[in-house]
Amino acid sequence: MKDEACICFLQWALPHLHMRWPGFRKVRGQVCKRLGSRLVELNLSDLKSYRMYLENNPLEWHILDSMCRITISRFYRDQGVYSFLRTQVFPALIENSCQNGDKNLSCWCIGAASGEEPYSLSVLWELSGLKKGGTSLKIVATEVDQHMIGRARKGCYPASSITHLPSRIKKIAFINRESQFCLKEEYRKRVQFVQQDIRNEQPDSSFDLILCRNLVFTYFSRELQEEIARKILTRLEPCGVLVTGAHEALPKSLQGLVPWFPGQKIYRRKI
Per-residue pLDDT of the chain (271 residues; tens, 9 = 90+): 789 999 999 999 999 999 999 999 999 999 999 999 999 999 999 999 999 999 999 999 999 999 999 988 899 999 999 999 999 999 999 988 867 767 789 999 999 999 999 999 999 999 988 877 788 999 999 999 999 999 999 999 999 999 999 899 999 999 998 889 999 999 999 999 999 999 999 999 999 999 999 999 999 999 999 999 999 999 999 999 999 999 999 999 899 999 999 888 999 998 6
- Please count the structural domains in the chain: 2
Residue 74 lies in a domain: no
Whether residue 72 is contained in a domain is answered as: no
For residues 187 and 249, membership in a common domain is answered with yes
In a domain, 118, yes or no: yes
**Structural domain for 169, as ranges:** 79-269
Residues 26 and 59 in one domain: yes
Residue 265 DSSP class? S
Distance CA 217, CA 260 (A): 19
Q: Is position 52 within any domain?
A: yes
Which region, left, alpha or beta, applies to residue 113 given φ > 0 means left and ψ of -120 to 50 means alpha? left
The dihedral region occupied by 112, where left means phi > 0, alpha psi between -120 and 50, and beta the remainder, is alpha
Write the CB contacts of 23 (distance below 8 Å, at least 6 apart in sequence): 218, 219, 220
Q: Say how many CA atoms lie within 13 Å of 77 toward its Cβ.
A: 21
3-state helix, strand, coil in the chain (%, to 5): 45, 20, 35
CATH number of the domain that 207 lies in?
3.40.50.150
Q: Is residue 73 part of a domain?
A: no
User: Which one, of 175, 139, 138, lies nearest residue 157 by Cα?
Assistant: 175
Q: Do 184 and 159 belong to one domain?
A: yes
